[in-house]
């Protein structure tokens, strides 16, 4: 089934994770990074998940899954050690129109977790539609070497330039042309050279 690639804004949205083991932990962490309102439903959780609950970063319901646990959820992740429970969660989400991911069970997923390279606001996501997460992870590692930490600073600069140009009220087509020019490989190399000179100047002062 073809996938529709999107980047979801989850800040403040209710995201329920059923399960609190090692498998669920990484999914919880990614939801926290997106500033979602995370509720974990599990009788037991890892120490890391418990620490998040103590710190008030998540809500932990110390119980077995029940269908009403999904009330009001925008997105659900099922990551228990029981396929039966995971499939029950999925079927409930299917009936209520809630996005659901059953970890490591592609047939019971409305969406997949891509392998993601992050450089500040820059995110490069790689999906194999659940066929080979190992390949997605290998490609991510290769991209990490190609897109280094310097891209985070450059993207911040590009964002500032975009806001400035759009505030100038110039012709939209001219603004578009300038923005594409600024995002070119040539400008990136110039940005790196100027940054390097600045560092050298500071070290000599």
Global pTM? 0.78
Give 123's strand partners: 118
Do the beta carbons of residue 70 and residue 53 sit within 8 Å? no
Looking at residue 202, its pLDDT comes to: 41
Sheet holding 37-41, edge to edge: 59-61, 37-41, 14-18, 75-78, 99-102
Mean pLDDT of 196-202: 41
Give yes or no for residue 199 having a pLDDT over 80: no
Ramachandran assignment for 113, one of left (phi > 0), alpha (psi -120 to 50 degrees), beta (any other): beta
pLDDT by residue (tens digit) across 81-124? 999 999 999 999 999 999 999 998 989 999 988 888 999 999 99
pLDDT at 26: 92
Taken in order 130, 135, 137, 143, the sign of the CA dihedral is negative
């Amino acid at each position: 089934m073809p996938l529709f690639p999107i980047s979801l804004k989850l800040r403040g949205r209710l995201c329920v994770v059923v399960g609190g083991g090692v498998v669920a932990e990484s999914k919880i962490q990614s939801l926290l990074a997106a500033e979602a309102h995370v509720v974990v439903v599990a009788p037991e959780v890892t120490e890391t998940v418990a620490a998040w609950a103590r710190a008030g970063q998540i809500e932990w319901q110390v119980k077995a899954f029940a269908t009403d646990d999904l009330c009001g959820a925008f997105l659900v992740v099922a990551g228990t050690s029981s396929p039966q429970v995971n499939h029950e969660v999925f079927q409930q989400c299917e009936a209520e129109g809630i996005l659901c991911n059953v970890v490591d069970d592609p047939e019971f997923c409305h969406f997949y977790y891509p392998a993601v390279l992050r450089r500040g606001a820059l995110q490069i996501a790689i999906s194999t539609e659940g066929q080979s997460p190992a390949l997605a992870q290998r490609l991510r590692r290769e991209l990490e070497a190609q897109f280094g930490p310097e891209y985070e600073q450059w993207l911040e600069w590009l964002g500032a330039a975009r806001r400035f140009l759009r505030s100038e009220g110039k012709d939209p087509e001219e603004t578009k042309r300038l923005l594409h020019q600024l995002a070119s490989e040539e400008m990136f190399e110039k940005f790196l050279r100027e940054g390097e000179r600045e560092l050298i100047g500071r070290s000599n002062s």
